[in-house]
């Protein structure tokens, strides 16, 4: 069962500081108070699972609850940046594929810089992350090769985590995998995070040629994990 916090009928309570909050509090004596069918209930065993970055609570009967405070860093968009028609064609020559892949990485990198001149860029191995703040949200854009995603999903399988959604038909050289994670950092946001994420993707594509975006379905939240 998923419980979404608010200020009035579903909130955290820290008995050490006598603090009530809709946002998760790092405390060894944290509980969750919520109303269920007009009955006040309390979960005493509440913690942030470091493996999944999910807030978990258990009642006296051992029933597990997932608690969504709206501040978790979660994936809200994922898909492929496809160069020309490499969602239909396959590159068999490794040398040719490497050249096309390098060109695609360069074009996408330049498009992101052009769309967002002040964006923060981080290179981690062969992947790139970009971070920007908009309307009280922190957005992290991840750019990966298909091989990166295969490795990530192998690790996630070992750790019992959800897979990043993927499409086996995509060529390994002529496509890149893109993710957008979002974390709320302020209250009273004017726009939905998904609307801003779609605008980010549109801005990137509008600054490229011969590149399209193919979206993958995210049926459940995929929280950010290192």
d(CA 173, CA 181): 24
Q: What is the pLDDT of residues 176-217, one digit of tens each?
A: 999 999 999 988 889 999 999 999 999 999 999 999 999 999
So what's the pLDDT on residue 51? 78
Give the other-Cβ count within 10 Å of 222's Cβ.
21
d(CA 153, CA 222): 12
Q: What is the mean pLDDT of residues 68-94?
A: 93
Contacts of 16 (CB under 8 A, 6+ apart): 27, 28, 29
Please tell me the pTM assigned to this model. 0.85
Residue 210 is predicted with a pLDDT of: 94
* pLDDT confidence bin for 223, thresholds 50/70/90: low
Q: Label residue 224 by pLDDT band (50, 70, 90).
A: low
> Which backbone phi and psi does 182 adopt, to 5 degrees?
-135, 140
The larger pLDDT score, comparing residue 187 to residue 26, is at: 26
Model confidence at 62, in pLDDT bands (50, 70, 90)?
confident
Burial of 16 (0-12, 13-18, 19+ CB in 10 A): exposed
Domains, the chain, with CATH or none: 2-68 (no CATH), 74-223 (3.30.2030)
Whether 127 contacts 147, CB under 8 Å: no
Residues 6+ apart with CB under 8 A from 195: none
In the predicted model, is pLDDT for residue 222 greater than 80?
A: no
- Residue 122 confidence (pLDDT) above 70: yes
Q: Are 89 and 82 in contact (CB under 8 A)?
A: no
pLDDT reported for residue 127: 83
Pairing of strands 2-4, 64-68: parallel
Q: How confident is the model at residue 125 (pLDDT cuts 50, 70, 90)?
A: confident
pLDDT at 225 over 70: no
User: pLDDT at position 136, please?
Assistant: 95
52 pLDDT band, cuts 50/70/90, is confident
Tell whether the model's pLDDT for residue 150 goes beyond 70: yes
DSSP strand E in 37-165: where?
39-43, 45-49, 54-58, 64-68, 74-83, 120-124, 127-134, 137-144
pLDDT for residue 218: 87
Percentage, residues of the chain above pLDDT 70: 97
Q: What is the pLDDT of residue 112?
A: 97
| pLDDT at residue 221 in the model | 65
96: confidence class by pLDDT, cuts 50, 70, 90: very high
């Amino acid at each position: 069962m998923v419980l979404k916090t608010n200020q009035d009928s579903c909130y955290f309570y820290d008995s050490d500081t006598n603090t009530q909050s809709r946002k998760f509090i790092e405390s060894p004596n944290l509980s969750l108070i919520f109303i269920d069918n007009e009955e006040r209930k309390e979960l005493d065993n509440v913690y942030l699972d470091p493996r999944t970055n999910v807030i978990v609570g258990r009642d006296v009967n051992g029933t597990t609850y997932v608690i969504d405070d709206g501040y978790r860093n979660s994936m809200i968009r994922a898909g492929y940046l496809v160069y020309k028609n490499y969602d239909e064609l396959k590159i068999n020559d490794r040398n040719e594929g490497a050249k096309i892949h390098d060109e695609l990485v360069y074009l996408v990198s330049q498009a992101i810089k052009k769309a967002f001149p002040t964006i923060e860029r981080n290179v981690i191995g062969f992947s790139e992350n970009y971070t920007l703040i908009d309307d009280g949200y922190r957005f992290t854009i991840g750019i990966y090769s298909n091989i990166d995603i295969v490795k990530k999903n192998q690790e996630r399988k070992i750790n019992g985590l959800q897979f990043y959604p993927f499409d086996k038909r995509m060529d390994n050289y002529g496509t890149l995998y893109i993710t957008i994670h979002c974390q709320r950092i302020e209250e009273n946001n004017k726009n939905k995070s998904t609307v801003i994420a779609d605008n980010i993707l549109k801005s990137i594509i509008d600054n490229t040629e011969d590149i399209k975006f193919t979206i993958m379905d995210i049926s459940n939240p995929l929280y950010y994990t290192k």
